[in-house]
Structure 1
């Protein structure tokens, strides 16, 4: 592999070596775009106080290019200022500018308007996409180049792309080569890396010279197989002369210890520094059934909460970083193997524990306790107490001369957190044993604030409670929870403000939201219905509120799947479609979950006719049974003992050659392949529709695994006519925030407040001073809360039609102290299909910052 080093940063088998300092690095994710600017310095200091020496930082393209050609790097978008603060805090930065970042962020940071070009193919070595990427890199890369380590900056590595092995990139080598050349062309000299999301090294970096592979591991913390898997990857990269860089993994330090002892030299748990998605920035993802909405509260249980609370895991962070810092180069240069001498573990543990053979002598053996109860193990003939959900790092046969101490540390079941000429420091939650030069000392589990001291051999030994371990600067962290009790807020003012401008434009067909400038926000559609009995809507996403003659229907969240709406006797159709977020992953099961998919109402068709086409299908079982002449059966109606073998059903559909049609296979149990005039598609139980363009459908073949009874559902052909003549109001995020900032007369009201389905109202709710966690209670109401010229976030109260929310607390909205003017403005909308819409109460709890 080509050299990946600069004079100040070296990437070699010992890891990322900064200014010649060889040390296993722990790295916390911390994202400027999820934090108010006034909190950046404090959050960086909080990370530094845990002993982590690095942070990884995504740069979201669409956070800075807010509309085509409109760039913003000011205020809380000033990434350069954030990187400078990281440098001042003494933290190294792994910068991750994408262009795709995932991160459960709107579209994975790919701008929404890219999907408007039908010839542009995202994440491909395709000229249109690469030209767009070049525009982004032309702005992002110089900011990073100016701030590289060794040039007075914090950036020690730059990651290209993100988990590309999950995506079907046609020519990975060409794509990553193009990104590499753009980066180096802007003067990036620190190592370039590319992370694999599922272990496919070449799938992530394309096998490109000069781009080192890294890996993301998300194991079950209770899995006994973590060590064996990690050692395989450590051996794989070691054979290439490279270190094992784990660029994402779980937050628990019990698991991080398992990775460390298995050979990882960079460990970057995602997400230790939690954050919050202000504005219309969360994504739609595939963490639901199948789709889900990411919450504004962006929290996976890391040691810093979204609102700045330091959680108990911060103590474990200080212990592990102190352990790595104490062993320093000996640990960084260590060789990982399967452990020897681990016996009689009384609790569930690793199937193959790991051991590090330290450079210069000594070993570290990892012994996990994967249960919630205390346990014991015998290591090298000495009993080791195992705290619940922990990993003991047992040091054996460590020469002490390098620390200015006499003798050998023959055994320590407590964590070694300091070693100086004054003695050895350890940390433990359970009883421990220390052996120096043949003298054994047993220590009880220490209490916080009450260290245990003893001379062992000729060495002074102190054993601390983990909460008493200091950071590299000698400071002790503070662990705290919420700052106070929640206050109930019942007073509000209903403002006489419009929720829309009412200015519309005429369109022949309903445009996608992005085509009318709604990259984030909502789009309103209206059309007249003349004798239409039923509608078919294809491609609507994300939050679809429909009304017929002013009567609201239950909200639809279908991720682009086709839906029918009965409209008999109705004369007007209205729809408000809100973009929760563009998909951050790529999921082919539903149209709205595909990366780069567009938002809005989609295509709206009047159903002109329905025809039953479940019969008259010829059956082709290939060589599995006789079929000449082919039997004629209903679709899925062939009976055989050959369960699971594919059978193909074929017929011509009664299409007229000039109309659009929808072919519907009802009650599918499994996905099937539908080939229309030679073009194959996959049709699934969650979207069992195939759209047929005029002239298509003369030859249709359906192939499915044989399963008795699977062909019992309806099979229909719908003839379609486009609904034309639309009035459309585009209401992007800037327009909504502008309305939220207007003044108007107010009527004092008391909560609870009832709304009619489809009714919208502006409310001002007085709130206490300071940073707050806001919660709203009620049912059948969607709320958007605003302060300081920003959307704080959106909450959807109890509604049988709402989707699954994932990623954090769906009920918490954060108002930073610097944004609190004493009032939060709320846009509330009642929804249909359940009980009477009601906002029952609001609570506000102090949030430390």
Structure 2
């Protein structure tokens, strides 16, 4: 299929065809919103030097709409300038404007205030949501349309939505169709794509005409099943005249090579060029385990660190890019096939290897070693050659070329066999790259003799292996380089990146321990509050990012029930701070014991970028703040008197009466239902606590189904609900704990609330103040919060902190650089990068960083012990 595009851009089975050039494209994610503007050009140049020719770029809606109706596309939000710089760097762009982007970004880029609108449903073909999306697309898409390839710009494709097959969209066709129509309204003529996160093309695209399916693959790098899985999708798409576009996958080039030989035409590992989440922009999410904070350091081990340091994978990037350039259209037009029996090895390897039948003749076979040790493989005899033994480096995919005609390179004959990577070919000869010894065989077109394989020694860094191969009157000059000596696309050679251990040792040696600080006479909040009957969500008081303070009189209240509080919750009872809570909205009981005043500070780490039903604050669109707060005015044990319903689980009627989970049967795993009526009065709200939930259970309340999980084992009942409660689960002997309790509730009313948005906090961080010199360590009382100024050396630097039971927020250049949380049992799981590092970019370094330090309750007394500053190689 060829789309009706400008003549300079096409979409065929060979992939995205730019300016008539058919080539497998390597694409690096590079996000302007995770980098200072001053570093954009340098980082784009680094990607270009890797040999990758495409970058994919998310456009986060909530990075540009700062508050409802308030838009910003200036400064480091000037995405148009970033796209222009990409074009200047010779890079094409796959633009991904969402509206939902995931990207472990706050809310997946959906603005936090959207769900304040009654009836609005995220990621649905719902009028209110689509109207909001239109306001975003009306601003973002003209920027992309003006910069399309063939019209003086860099944009070669636009992705609509992101991994929609993970989300329960009711009418996918209508939703994606509405997004497509908006894109077309704005004059987008480049291909529109939609990526499937778990292989469901229809779930991602809605089977909408004009929206091309793409796929995200995240296998284990040691999986033996990568090749057959990828070939399946390549074959399915080929039947539709479409290429396999892999819009996200792992960073390791061993896996990228396996995808290449299995039929991928675009390879876009996520995330080769790392970055940093400044401000209140990290998300919360599950990442396989419910409840976690994304780090400010946004790094999955790609070839560029968050501060732009090249890593060893940069070498592999240049080699693979050189292979794709050298093979060009032959590779792009190739057909993937299973290659069973093509080689044998004792190493762990692919369950079903792949090979590409190259256009114009020849093949490219992937020979994998998935183990940690070097191994040997025996290539089956073919093309007049006997069996050949090759050395496979650890964790590698050796690309074996066979029977490649060389006339297209201005050379005579055929490359019969090469176990080193072909990274260059032309009238002057062949250029190969290999970590170890390799085998080469060539045959002249006319007058050649028998094909004889030539054993090539392993090259050393800076010392290539050179040889001349003769067959009759034909001579080929061959050079084999060490991979780190393969140049970039412009011929520039680069020093080898330091290994992780070396980088770590250098960083430790260069770290400066800063003990001097200035303690500021600066308040941490205004203290100006507004009265609310019930505690509002942070978003309701205009805190889309930041924190909200609450206080209330609780005289006479003996016990509180708090539900929906998120993300970082600090409670203070009559001036006595409690350990910090980070329960992701799970319901919690707070005993008061004569307390008269409750104060709470709730800080937003980020809104969820994924939709996880197991915890309230992990639901997409869930709000932040203290949630609902109830006074517990009654308790009843309701563990007994449940009827048992389970078809043939018992011999006859009447149904047995047991405790919840108390039925015993050999029919384990068969559905069973426990049912009873609760003594609710129709006036009060209630909460049913189900002790010991085995994973998750279905609870039906008056005919309406709900999910209850072990992470939040509560059923909340509005007044009048609970006359008929049924708990259904696969029968498990001993399921549930020994208690089931019904709590009668009364809302706590009369709240004083102060919102502190990110802007309010930034203003405080920039305010002048008198100060007192102090020397770290700085001891604090639990619950204390203080401002410090710390001087740092010039240039870019990574800043770390030593201490216990403190949270530190670091500010500079009018930005929140990031937050760290030191040595606290209450600290949740962090994922995505280094949770202890703050990056101060060189262009933002004014010589001082301002720290907001909050002390928490824990095993030891809180203290900020030291600040460690290490120069970063930006």
Could you say which TM-score interval applies, normalised by the shorter chain?
A: over 0.9
Alignment of 1:20-419 (within 5 A): 20-287=20-287, 289-339=289-339, 341-380=341-380, 381-419=387-425
Q: Partner of 1:112: helix, strand, or coil? A: coil
- Is the Cα–Cα contact under 8 Å of residues 621 and 627 in structure 1 kept in the other structure? no
Q: CA 1:113–1:772 in 2, change beyond 3 Å: closer, same or farther?
A: same
Q: CA deviation at 1:719?
A: 0.4
Partner of 2:850: 825
Of residues 452, 455, 460 in structure 2, which corresponds to 1:442?
A: 455
Give the Å deviation of 1:4.
Answer: 5.6
The structure 2 residue matched to 1:456, chosen from 466, 469, 474, is 469
Q: What is the distance in 1 between the residues matched to 2:62 and 2:496?
A: 35
Query: Could you tell me which residue of structure 1 aligns to residue 446 of structure 2?
Result: none
Alignment partners' CA distance in 1, 2:579 and 2:770: 31
Which residue number in structure 2 is paired with residue 18 of structure 1?
18
Partner SS for 1:182: helix
Specify the SS of the correspondent of 2:869: strand
Shift of 1:702: 1.2
| Pairing 1:707–2:720 present | no
Give the counterpart of 1:690 among 691, 710, 715. Answer: 715
Counterpart among 599, 617, 623 of residue 574 in structure 1:
599
CA–CA distance in structure 2, aligned partners of residues 449 and 436 of structure 1:
26
Structure 1: how far apart are the matches of 2:368 and 2:273? 25
1:622 to 619, 637, 647: 647
What displacement does 1:288 show? 6.1
Whole-Å Cα distance in 2 between the matches of residues 479 and 762 of structure 1?
Answer: 42
Counterpart for residue 652 of structure 1 = 677
Deviations 1:202-261 (A, max 9, x none): 000000000000000000000111001000000010000000000000000011000000
Aligned to 1:524: 549
CA distance in 1, matches of 2:863, 2:59: 40
Q: Give deviations 1:668-724, integer Å, cap 9, x for gaps.
A: 223111111111111111101111111111111111222222244210110000100
CA shift digits 1:154-180 (9 cap, x unpaired): 000000000000000000000001000
Distance 1:55 1:223 in 2: 27
1:800 and 2:817 aligned: no
- Equivalences for 1:426-437 in 2 at 5 Å? 426-437=432-443
User: 1:498 — aligned with what?
Assistant: 523
1:439–1:456 Cα contact (<8 Å) kept: no
Give a deviation string over 1:262-306, Cα, whole Å, max 9, x none: 000000000000000000000001026421000000000000000
Q: Determine the C-alpha separation between the residues in 2 that align with 1:734 and 1:712.
A: 47
- Deviations 1:705-764, CA, capped at 9 Å, x for gaps: 222222442101100001000000000000001001011111111111111111000011
State how far apart, in whole Å, the 2-side matches of 1:753 and 1:32 are.
37
Give the aligned partner of residue 483 of structure 2.
466
CA distance in 1, matches of 2:404, 2:160: 39
2:663 maps to what in 1? 638
Q: Deviations over 1:511-543 (max 9, x none)?
A: 000000000000000000121110000110000
Q: Does the 8 Å contact 2:511/2:869 carry over to 1?
A: yes
Q: In structure 2, do the counterparts of structure 1 residues 233 and 366 end up closer, same or farther at CA, with 3 Å as the change threshold?
A: same
CA displacement 1:18-62 (0-9 Å, x = unmatched): 010000000000000000000000000000001000000000000
CA separation of 1:668/1:341 partners in 2, compared to 1, >3 Å: closer, same or farther? Answer: closer
1:425 correspondence with 2:442: no
CA–CA distance in structure 1, aligned partners of residues 716 and 701 of structure 2:
10
Deviations 1:653-682 (A, max 9, x none): 011111111011112223111111111111
Give CA deviations for 1:162-202 in whole Å, capped at 9, x if unaligned: 00000000000000010001001100000000000000010
Aligned mates of 1:480, 1:445 — CA distance in 2: 20
Query: Equivalents in 2 of 1:707, 1:45: separation in Å?
Result: 59
Q: Structure 1 residues 642, 163: CA separation in 2 closer, same or farther (over 3 Å shift)? A: same
Contact 1:283 1:583 survives alignment (8 Å): yes
> Which consecutive residues of structure 2, in runs of 5 or more, have no partner in the other structure?
381-386, 444-450
SS of the aligned residue for 1:587 comes to coil
| Separation in structure 1 between the aligned mates of residue 596 and residue 484 of structure 2, nearest angstrom | 68
What is residue 701 of structure 2 aligned with on the other side? 676
Matches of 1:256 and 1:651 in 2, distance apart? 56
Instruction: Note the C-alpha offset of 1:480.
Output: 3.8
Tell me what 1:609 maps to: 634
How far apart in 1 are the matches of 2:637 and 2:2? 64
Work out the CA distance in 2 between the residues paired with 1:840 and 1:634: 53
1:96 & 1:478 partners in 2: Cα distance? Answer: 33
SS of corresponding position for 1:391: strand
Distance in 1 of aligned mates of 2:6 and 2:259 = 27
Higher mean C-alpha deviation, range 213-222 or range 282-291: 282-291
In structure 1, how many angstroms separate the alpha carbons of the residues matched to 2:193 and 2:697?
39
Q: CA deviation at 1:642?
A: 1.0
Give the Cα separation in 1 of the matches to 2:673 and 2:253: 53
Cα distance in 1, alignment partners of residues 261 and 390 from structure 2: 17
8 A Cα contact 1:50 1:477, kept in partner: no
SS at match of 1:162: coil
Q: Report the CA distance between 1:572 and its aligned residue.
A: 0.3
CA contact (8 A) 2:694 2:736 kept: no
- Contact 1:342/1:377, CA 8 A, preserved across alignment: no
1:380-417 deviations in whole A, cap 9, x for unaligned? Answer: 31111111111100000011111000111000000000
The CA distance in 1 between the partners of 2:345 and 2:644, in whole Å, is 59
TM-score by length of 2: 0.96
CA distance in 1, matches of 2:771, 2:46: 42
CA contact (8 A) 1:282 1:296 kept: yes
Residue 494 (structure 2) aligns with: 477
- 8 Å CA contact 1:518–1:732 kept in 2: the answer is yes
Please state if 1:778 is matched with 2:796.
Answer: no
Contact 2:585–2:616, Cα closer than 8 Å, also in 1: yes
